[in-house]
Amino acid sequence: LHVTFKSFYYEGNNGGQEEAEFVYTTDGGSTWTFLADITPGSDWTSQWVDISAACGNSNVQLAFNYQDGGGFTWGLGIDDFSI
């Protein structure tokens, strides 16, 4: 099983280093498990992520984790998300 989506994530460094990843939880958000880094780019980028590690669990929640590193950075855009 996989998800696809488009992302816009410049990975700038304007006072702080941006980071973005795709994660999941099965315990309501108490712990999050890494699935993939979000690929940076200067335009919308198609992403494909295998989520088979989350299969077979109940109460699965998927999320994007974005950190701006404390700087004035671009942010993360997500579009066309599909499972």
Q: Check pLDDT > 80 for residue 17.
A: no
Query: Is 14's pLDDT higher than 70?
Result: no
| pLDDT for position 13 | 61
- Number of domains making up the chain: 1
- How far is Cα 7 from Cα 81, in angstroms, rounded to an integer? 9
pLDDT reported for residue 53: 93
- End-to-end CA gap in the chain: 8
- Rounded Cα distance between 77 and 7, Å, is 5
Q: Please determine, for residue 10, whether its predicted confidence score (pLDDT) is greater than 80.
A: no
- CA nearest 72: which of 12, 17, 14? 14
pLDDT at 25: 97
Total-model pTM: 0.84
CB 37 within 8 A of CB 21: yes
Domain that holds residue 68: 2-82
**Quick one: tokens of 75?**
């942010």
Please tell me the predicted confidence (pLDDT) of residue 70.
Answer: 76
- Tell me how far apart the alpha carbons of residues 73 and 18 are, in angstroms, rounded to a whole number: 7
Whole-number pLDDT of residue 12: 61
